[in-house]
Structures are given as C-alpha cells and as structure tokens.
Amino acid sequence: DAKTTQPPSMDCAEGRAANLPCNHSTISGNEYVYWYRQIHSQGPQYIIHGLKNNETNEMASLIITEDRKSSTLILPHATLRDTAVYYCIAVLPTSGTYKYIFGTGTRLKVLA
C-alpha cells in the first residue's frame, strides 16, 4: 500500500472551507484514496473515497489530482463539530492479504 503524508495540524475558521491536503506520490493505479476522521476517544468515521475522479457526498468533497499523486479533502462549511483528526490512506482492493495503514493524520481545529 502506498505511503501517505499529511500536515500534522491545521486551523480553520468556523463557516469557512477546510482544505486538508494529502500526498500519496507512490500510489498505484488501482489504489483508492480513503479519508476518515476521528473525534477524541471514538472510532474513526468514514468520510469519502475515490480512485481518479473527484467525489462529493453529504459530508465532504474529494479532489484528486490528475496524476493521482495528491488529493485534498474539502469540508465546505466547517463547524466546531468538525474538529477532529483526519486520516488519508491508500487502499488496494484485493481479496488477498490486505490491511489499511493509518498514519498520524492531520489534527484540524475549527475556530469560533
């Protein structure tokens, strides 16, 4: 699985868009980019995932560069409840030996 790199922390003003970057320069053609977030002392929550195309759901948007070496998670109107650690991981969907590898993520703090 490809290694991902994220900034350790970011701040965002409430109501503004939060843009969280992720570098995955070694990603292979079949690896998906997944995003999760973890609020303190809870299990990580799935947000969104994508392969090549940009994706949007009710929680966020995912922008993947054309070369797929990086991506950005966008929370369009950040609220205080979005304060959490956000993880970007690369996932190869095979049926064999398979595991998700989580790094230390980005700690997003939404400021009132």
The pair of structure tokens assigned to 43 is 């299990």
In angstroms, rounded to a whole number, what is the distance separating the alpha carbons of residues 85 and 109? 9
| Cβ distance to another protein smaller for residue 53 or 97 | 97
Contacting residues toward another protein, per CB under 8 A: 34, 41-46, 49, 87, 91-105
Find the Cα–Cα–Cα–Cα dihedral 58, 22, 14, 112, rounded to 10°: 140
**What minimum distance in Å lies between the beta carbon of 47 and another protein?**
10
**What minimum distance in Å lies between the beta carbon of 85 and another protein?**
9
**What minimum distance in Å lies between the beta carbon of 93 and another protein?**
3
| Cβ distance to another protein smaller for residue 15 or 57 | 57
In angstroms, rounded to a whole number, what is the distance separating the alpha carbons of residues 2 and 23? 10
